[in-house]
Structure 1
Amino acid sequence: MGWNAIRLAGAVLMVTLSASACGTEQPAAAALPPEPVIDLSTLDVGGHPTRPRDYGKVATLEQAKIIESERLANFIPLTSEIDPRFALGHRVSLSSRVFYDPAHSNLGDAIKLDRFASVAPDFVTGFASGGTTDQDMQGIDLMNVVLVFPTEQKAAEMAVALELSDREYNNRNVPVEIPGYPAAKAHWQPDKQSIGSWFASGKLVIYSWVYDYLRITAEVVDQNELVTLVRKSLDTVVPAVAKFTPTPPDQLMTLALDIDGMLGRTLPRINEEFYTSPPGAYTGLAGLHFESEPAATRADWEDAGVDRYAQDQARVYRARDRASALRLWERQTRLDKRLRTVASPKNLPQAECHEYLGSDKWVVRFYCSVSYDRYTALVASQQLLDAQQRISAQYALLVNAK
């Protein structure tokens, strides 16, 4: 698996096909008709693989840092858990949540990275959890970037050093205190409704960032509102990430690349097209970090008992059972005014494909999805035939992994 070549390309927003809705009574898994029998040899899979892979252990330090970042993600709360106003995923300028290499990462306006590597050479890895009240940059952004360091002492030192480096980016930044967190290092601009805070907790540094577009446009500032939100954020994030046990630096190369074979049964990417983060497998609800409407989607995931999520060239979700996977797939494939149904792949009629009809140039045009056994899968492409071939190969992967 050549992850050494993977870099974090510019983000392309994936349309969320699902809309949260109250579920109706579903038949038990045992009452479902049998899976359709598909002759896999008749599927058009293009050049994509159709056999599951065993990834084994990490082969490079870069891979190890990516896996450690993805492990960390399983413990970071969604922004909607901090404040229900932040129910939407962060806007497109956040090109990666997996933050393992400052030289090739983009966290939008949240952190100025030109001095990060020199200020924090011992940085191991990190993960960014972002949310917003409006994806058209007409509301408030909230982001928490959790950074891992090799020791508690180093984390405490880096919270101070990174805040100072960020504060010195311009001469308008002024230090500010966060109530309840005297060790936090924070600053804001008195003429701009935004704040950045760095707080060390164990071997972790939690960077919290708030940016209020509406108040900035209106030239209105309220420091109390900013520090209250940062405090509220830390109140939620600090105890949650305390449950994460960082891998000792000398054991990073022992990490496994996969979880329960999830990545092995997920279609691997051929290039970086349309992807905002490296390949990865996640436990529980951590995959919601990558959804455009995580708060609304969470209800569907919990109803379906989603306990594993993987992403590479496809997104694959593992549900409680087959009935739950079908229910999740049905909700994911509900249409809205931005989508229309297009042709299913050849010889795979149970897969559904849709075309995006909106005007957003960042949104991928075609989507195909399918359900098999406990799994639901989604692929995207700018070409319909490519999307059809991807979902056909993904279906074959799921069948062959049984």
Structure 2
Amino acid sequence: MVRTTRRAGIVCTAAAAVAVLAGCGVKGTAVAGEIDVRTLDVGSYAVDAHTYHQTADDEGALVEGMRMSRAVVPAVAIDPSLKVGQSGHVVLDNTEATTRLLAAVSKPILDREGLLTGYTASGADKSDDPGTSISTSDTTSVTDFVMRFADADTAKRTAQELEDADFGVAPDINKKLSLSKYPDALVHWRPGVSNVGAFLAHENFVISLFIQRPQPEQDDLEAWVQKALDAQIPALDKFRATPKDQFSGLPVDPDGLLARAVVRDRDKHTPDRDRFASYGPNDFVNIAADETVRQRLVADTGLDAVGIADTSTVMRVRDAAAGGRLITGLVSASGSAYSPIDAPDKLLGAKCLQLSSSGVHSNSAKFRCYIPHGRYVEVVISNDQSDMKKKASAAYALLANSM
């Protein structure tokens, strides 16, 4: 195996300053038992009901990759021990794919065969060495990278080409393996090295696996490849891929969550993996420090969609009661890095946090608030407490006006 790392990390940064909308009135009429949102101090944030009508256009591959987050299983679904989430993100660029996920010799293959889009998820049973992205030698980790191609024939041909290229880097050392349950899986390892790689074409997709184990035992590595395929293939079977010629027509806000996210400027958004994106619940699990707890929270609340716009995140759950449980779970998961502070007056059920002294070296924002309304929970962040309060109030008003 010649892959240089088991995952491709991705860092989400705070938004650059953008123009502030002026003259945005607070609209809406109160109903019994609900706040009159016209009384909330929302600053200059727009809170009237909104819709993003645009389609993906030239960013169709990215939007389809976001949809694929529903089809790539979190590591904890492969094995309960893999509870440390290490990443989950769309992969569009062949260079990115072959820098950290595939062997470098694979790039000409992807260029030739036409990788349409992809999504990868990684997890492990132990955290990396402190301050590094390097796993300890006794770690088990799995990187599951699913690539989409034009048709089944292309996928099958590409899987074989990728395997041949990877194996061919050291044909005198590498050894081919086989799985009786998945005879079409292309698997090889380097005896004495405790990792294994595999490719399997499945319909229009190619599943690429890279698995690290504490000991270089062939039977064990084969069992882990089978375990990963057992989890991944059924998820792909449930996914309805968008035909390539329909990519450009995909809606950028399929669940209406982005329109419920508080932003400074509604007019300057195009699909972006980190700043204007719609994902399924798996993406929410992939980044968790404890995937087991996060997956349980998803199941308990019925969370089925996540929208990210600038520094706001909107999540849709089963009902209002589930929204409260989601907030409780997320606040609890913040641990000692954050301390509770008062939420803005009138926002029933909202909870706010401030970065504590134990988190002073964190890249996270200084303040964050969780705001519930009906089936929705919005999370807003800011480094300014006054702005955070206005943004939290705006989030509630926007959620209420969007009902």
TM-score with structure 1 setting the length: 0.77
Matched with 2:124 is 132
Which aligned pairs between 1:236-315 and structure 2 lie closer than 5 A? 236-268=231-263, 277=274, 279-283=276-280, 287-312=284-309, 313-315=311-313
Q: CA deviation at 1:277?
A: 3.6
The answer to whether the 8 Å contact 1:67/1:255 transfers is: yes
Matched with 1:74 is 70
Distance of 2:300 and 2:257 partners within structure 1:
20
Counterpart selection for 1:228 from 223, 241, 266: 223
The answer to whether the 8 Å contact 1:99/1:126 transfers is: yes
Distance 1:78 1:178, change over 3 A: farther
Distance 1:298 1:9, change over 3 A: closer
Distance 1:113 1:205, change over 3 A: same
Structure 2 SS opposite 1:398: helix
Counterpart selection for 1:326 from 307, 324, 327: 324
Distance of 1:155 and 1:240 partners within structure 2:
17
Which aligned pairs between 1:29-178 and structure 2 lie closer than 5 A? 34-39=33-38, 42-44=41-43, 48-61=45-58, 63-90=59-86, 94=87, 97-103=89-95, 105=96, 109-112=100-103, 115-116=106-107, 119-121=110-112, 122-136=114-128, 137-138=135-136, 139-167=139-167, 174-178=174-178
The code of the aligned residue for 1:69 comes to G
The code of the aligned residue for 1:146 comes to V
The CA deviation string for residues 175-194 of structure 1, in whole angstroms up to 9 with x for no partner, is 43131323222333334312
Q: CA deviation at 1:322?
A: 1.7
Q: CA deviation at 1:285?
A: 5.5
Matched with 1:371 is 372
Distance of 1:360 and 1:108 partners within structure 2:
32
Distance 1:59 1:298, change over 3 A: closer
The code of the aligned residue for 1:261 comes to G
Distance 1:148 1:119, change over 3 A: closer
Distance of 1:108 and 1:314 partners within structure 2:
31
Q: CA deviation at 1:276?
A: 6.5
Distance of 1:187 and 1:352 partners within structure 2:
50
Structure 2 SS opposite 1:73: helix
Q: CA deviation at 1:395?
A: 2.7
Count the aligned residue pairs: 361
The answer to whether the 8 Å contact 2:174/2:190 transfers is: yes
Distance of 1:267 and 1:116 partners within structure 2:
40
The answer to whether the 8 Å contact 1:340/1:354 transfers is: yes
Query: 5+ unaligned residues in a row in structure 1: which ranges?
Result: 1-7, 15-32
Distance of 1:369 and 1:288 partners within structure 2:
18
Distance of 1:247 and 1:170 partners within structure 2:
38
Distance of 1:264 and 1:133 partners within structure 2:
37
The answer to whether the 8 Å contact 1:43/1:346 transfers is: no
The code of the aligned residue for 1:223 comes to Q
TM-score with structure 2 setting the length: 0.77
The CA deviation string for residues 1-56 of structure 1, in whole angstroms up to 9 with x for no partner, is xxxxxxx9941599xxxxxxxxxxxxxxxxxx9333343662235xx543444223
Distance of 2:94 and 2:384 partners within structure 1:
32
The answer to whether the 8 Å contact 1:87/1:294 transfers is: yes
Matched with 2:314 is 316
The answer to whether the 8 Å contact 2:12/2:274 transfers is: no
Distance of 1:384 and 1:171 partners within structure 2:
60
The answer to whether the 8 Å contact 1:309/1:318 transfers is: yes
Q: CA deviation at 1:279?
A: 2.9
Deviates more, 1:220-229 or 1:285-294: 285-294
The CA deviation string for residues 318-369 of structure 1, in whole angstroms up to 9 with x for no partner, is 1222222123223322363332123535875754322333358454143221
Distance 1:13 1:172, change over 3 A: farther
Query: 5+ unaligned residues in a row in structure 2: which ranges?
Result: 1-7, 15-31, 129-134
Distance of 1:43 and 1:343 partners within structure 2:
17
Distance 1:305 1:349, change over 3 A: closer
Distance of 1:251 and 1:225 partners within structure 2:
42
Distance of 2:283 and 2:9 partners within structure 1:
21
Q: CA deviation at 1:198?
A: 1.0
Distance of 1:380 and 1:106 partners within structure 2:
31
Q: Matched residues, percent identical?
A: 22
The CA deviation string for residues 126-176 of structure 1, in whole angstroms up to 9 with x for no partner, is 111222112223422112111110011100111122233444566786143
Matched with 2:3 is none
Deviates more, 1:325-334 or 1:284-293: 284-293
Distance of 1:346 and 1:111 partners within structure 2:
51
The code of the aligned residue for 1:159 comes to A
Distance 1:258 1:169, change over 3 A: farther
